Amino acid sequence: MFAFVTFKNQEERDKAMKAVHGMQWKSKVLSVRLAKPKADPILKKRKQEEEAEGGQPGAKRAAGSQEGEEDEEEEPLNIQIANAVTPLWNVPYEEQLKRKEKEVEGILQKLTREIGNNNKAMLPWLFVQKEKYNKMCCPLEAIQPSPVQTEYRNKCEFVIGVGADGEDKTVGFRLGKYKGGSCAVVSPSETTHVSSEAKRVVQGFQQFIRTTPYAVYSPETYEGHWRQLTVRTSRIKQTMAIVFFNPQKLQEEEIEELKRNLHQYFTEGEGKESAITSLYFVRMGQRTSAGTEDLPCEHVTGEEWIHEELLGLKFRISPHSFFQTNTPAAEVLYSAVGEWAQLDQDSTVLDVCCGTGTIGISLAKRVKKVIGIELCQEAVEDAKANAEANGLTNVEFHCGKAEDVFPTVLNAVVSPNVTAIVDPPRAGLHSKVILAIRRAEHLKRLIYVACNAKAAMNNFIDLCRAVSNRVRGAPFRPVRAMAVDLFPQTMHCETILLLERVDYSSDTQTTET
């Protein structure tokens, strides 16, 4: 029953307070009062440090804490950054896999309880399943390891800021989050998951920005220019760099001059050693947060795309397009999806949130038709080009929000053998997509690829819940699950869940597995 409103300055705020206070809105009288915002975490931390140093700003904290407790900052920076970005770096790989498998097991056990709470008709079947599969609703197959455990990331986003070592204009990873009071950046040179190609680009780019008069962007004051560097690499030795820059009040001519200098540096200057094959420049305006996908990319030099090979197929990748960040492990993931889908020449595959078309294209030769749906226009263009480059004519792609496009596409499919494969972003699928899947009774099999199974829990529950006024169409139930490790040295992994439509006409419903 309340809302917070933020203003650019005090004058605007006071004007709005006068206008809104006592206003009638939907039969209610609005009252306004000043909010008590939390202290800015950076300022708060700075103040605490100054007080601890007896009010001498800038003085270094005395080595070791007064009460002899371990001071976190005593650890070398390479250890601190490893802990921040690859928290399992010092855990043996077999142990990492066990932990991830255990976590997925816990998620499936929770899902089993939730299905029971939301669909009483499934309780007899769940009872049998839980006895067989350690309180889980379906078998969890052995976790699939990543074929490579180091230097596996083909896409990295580096921030630009003041280094934890005090060096200005440092390109790397943040030691902590802004809300934790830290903006310090550490070079990725000793991190295990970043490729040597990406490290080389970071080094070259850092050298370049240190020769320019432009300051790094400050999330505290919103001043400065250099914001972020994204590096994408491929196994066929192509490298794309995307530079994010806040123009502030610079003249267009100054920005064009900067782009010319970038071009010159990476094609003829010292940056040539970075071996960049595609360079882009992005203007990232005031207070623009994480959503960089919508910002236009200005092509500076090299090719417009980089190319990758996966499962013997060729793919082109644009700056904003989604492509799994660990290519060898993605091959393991997509091979499993292909096997579980039980496809034949009469099958139609719906590839939802398809990115550059990787899953659908990898299955196209086995099926009658592949239909892909993707929000990012660039990725759809890539997907169409990828289908053509691989000589496929039975593939089509639609651009738009899955919740808008999916119901229409699904209703147009007449094939009796339809399988949907969904690989949504971290937050999962929009509930409209789930409801459309439930309503489409001819869709019998669904493979859900989740990069965060916890976040996808509501989707899983809605697919399995009892029929109601809101949820039409027979429910699904989980048949098998497996984790695939795409992110060694971290706690993340992908989870594949195969769900099949419950057939109420079958008398064996309670005993089937």
CATH of the domain spanning 97-147+326-501, picked from 3.40.50.150, 3.30.70.100, 1.20.58.100, 1.10.10.10: 3.40.50.150
Mean pLDDT computed over 503-509: 58
With contact defined as beta carbons under 8 Å apart, do 370 and 337 qualify? Answer: no
Q: What whole-number distance in Å separates Cα of residue 107 and Cα of residue 123?
A: 18
Q: What whole-number distance in Å separates Cα of residue 53 and Cα of residue 36?
A: 28
Sequence-ordered list of residues with C-beta below 8 angstroms from that of 396, at least 6 positions apart, any chain: 369, 370, 371, 372
Q: Which residues are catalytic?
A: 451
Q: Is 411 helix (H, G, I), strand (E, B) or coil?
A: helix
What are the boundaries of each domain within the chain? 1-33, 97-147+326-501, 155-310
Mean pLDDT computed over 53-79: 53
Question: Which of 18-22, 240-244, 303-307 bottoms out in mean pLDDT, i.e. has the lowest?
Answer: 18-22
Give the pair of three-digit tokens for residue 233: 């690499």
| Strand partners for 244 | 228, 282
Give the pair of three-digit tokens for residue 83: 């802990």
Beta strands in 311-450 (DSSP E): 313-317, 348-352, 369-374, 395-399, 418-422, 443-450
The answer to whether the 97-147+326-501 and 155-310 domains have the same CATH topology is: no
- The CATH code of domain 155-310 reads 2.40.50.1070
The CA-atom distances, in angstroms, between 92 and each of 142, 143, 160, 177, 485 are: 18, 15, 32, 27, 14
- Residue 66 has a pLDDT of 37
DSSP 512: -
Give the pair of three-digit tokens for residue 108: 């499936």
- Check whether 220 has a pLDDT greater than 90: no
411-455 pLDDT per residue, tens: 788 787 899 999 998 888 888 889 989 988 888 999 999 999 999
Q: Is 115 helix (H, G, I), strand (E, B) or coil?
A: helix
Q: What whole-number distance in Å separates Cα of residue 347 and Cα of residue 298?
A: 41
**Enclosing H/E stretch for 243:** strand 239-245
Q: In this structure, which amino acid lies at residue 414?
A: V
Q: How many CB atoms lie within 10 A of CB 195?
A: 19
The CA-atom distances, in angstroms, between 234 and each of 376, 390, 451 are: 21, 18, 21
288-340 pLDDT per residue, tens: 555 666 788 999 999 999 999 999 999 999 998 889 999 999 999 999 999 99
Max CA distance (Å), the chain: 79
- Residue 504 has a pLDDT of 66
DSSP 126-168: HHHHHHHTTT-SS-EEEEEPPS--SS-BSEEEEEEE-BTTS-S
Q: How many CB atoms lie within 10 A of CB 333?
A: 23
Residue whose entry in the numeric block shows the structure tokens 């007080």: 51
- Check whether 341 has a pLDDT greater than 80: yes
pTM for this one? 0.84
- The reply, when asked if residue 308 is annotated as ligand binding, is no
- Residue 55 has a pLDDT of 54
186-213 pLDDT per residue, tens: 999 999 999 999 999 999 999 999 999 9
- The reply, when asked if residue 324 is annotated as ligand binding, is yes
453-476 pLDDT per residue, tens: 999 999 999 999 999 999 999 999
Sequence-ordered list of residues with C-beta below 8 angstroms from that of 220, at least 6 positions apart, any chain: 40, 42, 43, 178, 183
**Residues 302, 150, 159, CA angle at the centre, nearest 5°?**
55
- Residue 71 has a pLDDT of 46
Q: What whole-number distance in Å separates Cα of residue 352 and Cα of residue 326?
A: 20
- The reply, when asked if residue 345 is annotated as ligand binding, is no
Task: Tell me the CB-side half-sphere exposure of residue 438, using CA atoms within 13 A.
Answer: 24
